[in-house]
Chains A and B, each alone.
Chain A
Amino acid sequence: MLIHDMTQMKFTGTKSYVATDDLMMAVNAAITLERPILIKGEPGTGKTQLAVEVAQALGRPLHEWHIKSTTKAQQGLYDYDAVARLRDSQLGDDRVHDIGNYIVKGKIWEAFASDETPVLLIDEIDKADIEFPNDLLQELDRMEFFVYETKELVKARHRPLVVITSNNEKELPDAFLRRCFFHYIKFPDKATMEKIVDVHYPNLKKSLLKEALEAFYKVRDVPGLKKKPSTSELLDWIKLLVAEDVPAEALRAEDSRKAIPPLHGALLKNEQDVHLFEQLVFLDRRTNSR
């Protein structure tokens, strides 16, 4: 019955998130078949945000598990706090007789125990050790795992929708990839970007938006930038422009003396990039003035 319930749910983006057709297709396939979905893409294109928005759109609880380089797969399931138990035994605490007192639930267990179908976000899986994804194969496939200390089988009450994000820092194992749907969020084109900005700043003046986008894509096109500005940086920049009340005209590059866009610190986060950009503008100005 629940499966039926889930298939009825279709993700079509939300008020604050613009989803492209291919993204919707991948998410809906993952919802229908109850398989994990792996999201890759440039930093700042909304990979993590996707899980939040899907949970919100479907009205499901969200469990977030943020991965660090020290995270182990086991920590997602449970931790057996043996040290605490040892201490308690020395102090003569009564709790020590029940080993269950020292089993600390991980994020995956929390999601499995959820009362309604949850969304489980495993964020930046590539940060962890190479073996990390392999250690989770069985758990994500069968949605169950065994707690050896208490001899208890934990089974998901409702198969969660697992959203996994990766920044491509490490290659993921084939066996893991085969079990997932895959989507690569490509950098939005101008039309999509307008929609995205519109969703975030609905009352933005059309002229300012046009000029801002033009300047933004121009900065992105500068060859050799270490870190290209992303969607989230564009949104921050526009927020600043609005807050500072910068007029659209100031963004126009025709005035060569002001060719560096105002508040460009929001777009370029790297000293070398800013330097490179200024040099290019300087060169450009020289060739134009001749």
Chain B
Amino acid sequence: MLTKFFFMLRQGGMNPSITELLTLLEAMKRGVAGHSVDDFYYLSRSCLVKDESKFDRFDRIFAEHFQGIEDALNPLTGQLPDDWLQKQAELYLSAEERAQIEAMGGFDALMDALRERLEEQTERHEGGNKWIGTAGTSPFGAYGYNPEGVRIGQQGSRHRRATKVWDRREYRNLDDSVELGTRNIKIALRKLRKFAREGAADQLDLEDTIDKTARNAGLLDIRMVPERHNAIKVLLCLDIGGSMDDHVRVCEELFSATRTEFKHLEYFYFHNCIYESLWKDNRRRHAERIPTAEITHKYGPDYKLIFVGDATMSPYEIVYAGGSVEHWNEEPGAVWIKRLLNVYPKSIWLNPEPEKRWDYTPSVKLIRELMDDRMFPLTLGGLDDGIKALH
């Protein structure tokens, strides 16, 4: 019985270890918990969960296991039947046909229409131009084409313009083991380094020792200094998924380079734009989100903030509440970016997209304005300039 609970916890994104399970079993054997469910709850929580931010998740899984509440973790998947979303047909539109399709009067109208249609529609739908389904030209659904469409149940962006993704996509976790080709970037990042002496005095300062001993009439006077280490602290926010898929390799290189360069490096992922929460593990991005406010509270203003992203998105995603393609955001992305910039005055945005193309994308312009023009291309030269801006 507990084994099942244990694996449910692991599936739910907590990672209790076998030793912890054994500890719990031993504690139960020794009668620590008595016989009430409350006692067992407290005991198992104390044994298996070591982070108060995971208490809530533990509570839900506990409830699911012991009361059989279905699908406690996935409220969304329950709402959209799977077979609607299966890829059944492909629809190829010519350039003229695409030009014929008009956007449906603004973002709010789009969301209202989706809500209405979700209520109206009760069957699976394919093709056509109104109902939500696959391969049609309605603004809702997947594998079709409508420039202001809301994407439902599609495995990747086909035209990279959709304004809502309901899919729970498994993004590839950024791998930081790529070493080849990172040398160039590493050299540039060295400029970021600032050596400082910090911490306990635990190294012999030979020169000072000789000097002080001499002054002390030959009686030994040992002098110590703290170890030298890199005092620079960096918060790295990486865009992942969507239009960034092409740039993932470049980002991976940057990532594996920065890992080895700083003592304090915290990295977070976002999708297209920053909102109220970020995540650390891309495979668990839907389950384990960290509130952005918590990040600004935890990491002080002495951290330097580096965004990496192509800033290519629908402008809705930056300036409108509810503009995110993944979820309903109460406040627009611009507000969150400004908030972060207030806390971290030293910040830059690195853009893997070539600089000459920036002017053609309105969202890049918006982000550049937000960043006070501190956007730099992800090249050696760009990194050089960016690092100068950070100092």
Contact = CB atoms under 8 A, between A and B. Distances in A.
Contacts of A186: 52
Given A69-B199, A70-B199, A90-B219, A29 B50 contact: no
Nearest to A69: B199
Interface string A6-33: 0100000000000001100110110011
Contacts of A70: 199-201
A40 interface: yes
Given A25-B43, A83-B222, A182 B49 contact: yes
B220 A83 contact: yes
B32 interface: yes
Contacts, number: 72
A72 B202 contact: yes
Interface residues of A, number: 32
Interface in B38-66: 38-39, 42-43, 45-47, 49-52, 55
A72 B55 CA distance: 31
Contacts of B23: 33, 35, 181
A7 B30 contact: yes
A128 to B, nearest CB: 10
B219 A33 contact: no
B121 interface: no
A183 B50 CA distance: 8
A178 B19 contact: yes
A38 interface: yes
Interface string A135-179: 000000000000000000000000000000000100010000111
Interface string A183-219: 1101000000000000000000000000000000000
A32 B50 CA distance: 19
A126 B298 CA distance: 13
A75 to B, nearest CB: 9
Interface in B2-48: 17, 19-20, 23, 26-27, 30, 32-33, 38-39, 42-43, 45-47
B1 to A, nearest CB: 20
Contact of A21 (B17, B27, B42, B47): B42
A69 B202 CA distance: 13
A184 B50 CA distance: 9
Contact of B27 (A32, A38, A86, A182): A32
B220 A181 contact: no
Interface residues of B, number: 29
Contacts of B51: 177, 182
A270 B17 CA distance: 42
Given A25-B39, A35-B23, A72-B202, A180 B50 contact: yes
A183 B46 CA distance: 6
Contacts of B26: 33
Contacts of A38: 50
Interface string A41-77: 0000000000000000000000000000111100000
A136 B38 CA distance: 33
Contacts of A116: none
B220 A29 contact: no
A221 B300 CA distance: 24
A284 to B, nearest CB: 24
Contacts of B50: 38, 172, 177-178, 180, 182
A25 B49 contact: no
B55 A178 contact: no
30 contacts: A7-B30, A21-B38, A21-B39, A21-B42, A22-B46, A25-B32, A25-B39, A25-B46, A26-B42, A29-B43, A32-B27, A33-B30, A33-B32, A35-B23, A38-B50, A40-B52, A70-B200, A70-B201, A71-B200, A87-B220, A90-B220, A168-B298, A177-B51, A178-B17, A178-B50, A181-B46, A182-B45, A182-B46, A182-B49, A184-B52
Given A29-B47, A179-B19, 4 more contacts: A22-B42, A33-B23, A177-B50, A182-B47
